[in-house]
Chains A and B, each alone.
Chain A
């Protein structure tokens, strides 16, 4: 089964939410625009449905690759360096011609996430431990590998999870023998909307993001300085 066929199957099973994106079928809306699907922010569903896909003051696009532009900055102008952040901007609607366009849009709003989820479902997703990720860093980031396991555990609780703006489900461990300690971040299931699967699919974190790596570097520097002072 191709990923497009799998996406169609998932839609038939009731899938309509990924991250902060709502997928609306055009036939579920009165007098819809000429398209198969409409995408919008989950907090804008009512506006989009009530306005038959043309809410006043919203930007409209038919290009699924505009997902990248929509998701680059938050409403407050902040750069969304990881697309798992829960600050996707509002007041836009995407009219998509077919399921191929839908696939392209969701893979651009949440880069590779549907592919990773599919691989996980098929049992072929390889997860990368934090140590593996840190040990491959170069340049100024190579110092990130010096962080202690304790420091890394604390950092997960300080940086990851919805309380810190990231809605991804962490799949990785510190190393092959060291799972993450229990915390809100490590327990989070990757579905910020609270919906159950298959109505929503989770956002997955198969390797620590580069923001986390940068934080590891800062933390390892603090650890080094603390040891030097002791």
Chain B
């Protein structure tokens, strides 16, 4: 969905980041570069929980008095509902903090346009498979601490089942730390071909180190994604199946479009709403 240029406004892309894995923040910067090229905002900055600049430093980063914040997170949950609003001092969809107005958008992972990106990624990783003989598995982290953390994946899987563009035999949601477990992929999927797309923003510890072990084609946790070529060895012959494994969906450069979609939706939804000031 095209958005109107906002030459007086800044865009802050909020990510998690890591003190140990440089691959973790690479997608955020790529998404920022992509949006910057389109010249829609006066500034596009990335802000982080675990890297520099921190969420708490965001207020100082721009001269703009209007700022859109889009969490480059895969689901609604603790970080998007608690940490980011607390760190940025946001009290509602639009908050004015010491003279600067922040618009807080929904995270990228919950937007319906993610469905097309998932299809595109699945097609890229296994271009020649017959979808009617293929199970598409979307894998997320999952945690018993927050029921919202799996909602985005469940919603996307439902949208993938409903679409008719690529008729996969089955679409399954699986998780690392709650049922249904990704480690059971070979008993959950009933088709010859299985395509697995990690529902994560970055190719960090989970998508390129932990999940390959759970899938069974790596025997131990290995080096960082940038130093390996996991996804280039498709397909993996395991349990009598052809397993295709993709990199994390967040590494898709077109996530930039989803970020802009969230801003468009925010403007549509909140154009007449009140502004909290403090």
Contacts and interface: CB of A to CB of B under 8 A. Distances in A.
Contacts, number: 53
Given A2-B63, A119-B60, A112 B33 contact: no
A57 B77 CA distance: 48
21 contacts: A65-B33, A72-B22, A79-B22, A81-B19, A81-B51, A83-B52, A107-B61, A111-B53, A112-B52, A112-B53, A112-B57, A112-B61, A115-B60, A115-B61, A116-B57, A119-B60, A128-B56, A207-B56, A209-B52, A211-B19, A214-B19
A119 B61 CA distance: 10
A116 B61 CA distance: 8
Interface string B192-222: 0000000000000000000000000000000
A82 B33 CA distance: 21
A68 interface: yes
Size band of the interface chain A makes with B: 20 to 34
Interface in B50-109: 50-54, 56-57, 60-63, 78, 83, 86-87
Interface string A102-145: 00000100011001101100000100100000001010000000
Given A65-B33, A83-B52, A138-B83, A116 B22 contact: no
A210 interface: yes
B57 A210 contact: no
Contacts of A73: 22
B29 interface: yes
Contacts of A210: 19, 50-51
Nearest to A73: B22
Contact of A116 (B29, B50, B60, B62): B60
Contacts of A107: 61
Nearest to A112: B53
A3 B63 contact: yes
Given A119-B60, A209-B19, 4 more contacts: A65-B29, A111-B51, A116-B60, A138-B83
Contact of B54 (A207, A211, A214): A207
A206 interface: yes
A41 B85 CA distance: 38
A215 to B, nearest CB: 10
B7 to A, nearest CB: 14
A160 B144 CA distance: 37
A107 B45 CA distance: 10
A79 B20 contact: yes
Nearest to B87: A136
Contacts of B61: 107, 112, 115
Contacts of B57: 112, 115-116, 206-207
- Which has the most chain B C-beta neighbours within 10 Å: A79, A118, A125? A79
B52 A111 contact: yes
Contacts of A79: 20-22
Contacts of B52: 82-83, 111-112, 209
Contacts of A82: 19, 52
Interface in B7-36: 19-22, 29, 33, 36
A196 to B, nearest CB: 24
Contacts of B54: 112, 207
A41 B210 CA distance: 38
Contacts of B20: 79, 81
Interface in B161-184: none
Contacts of A118: 60
B229 to A, nearest CB: 18
Contacts of A115: 53, 57, 60-62
Nearest to B83: A138
Interface in A21-55: none
A34 B181 CA distance: 57
Nearest to A83: B52
Contacts of A207: 54, 56-57
B19 A112 contact: no
Contacts of B62: 115
- Which has the most chain B C-beta neighbours within 10 Å: A65, A81, A82, A116? A81
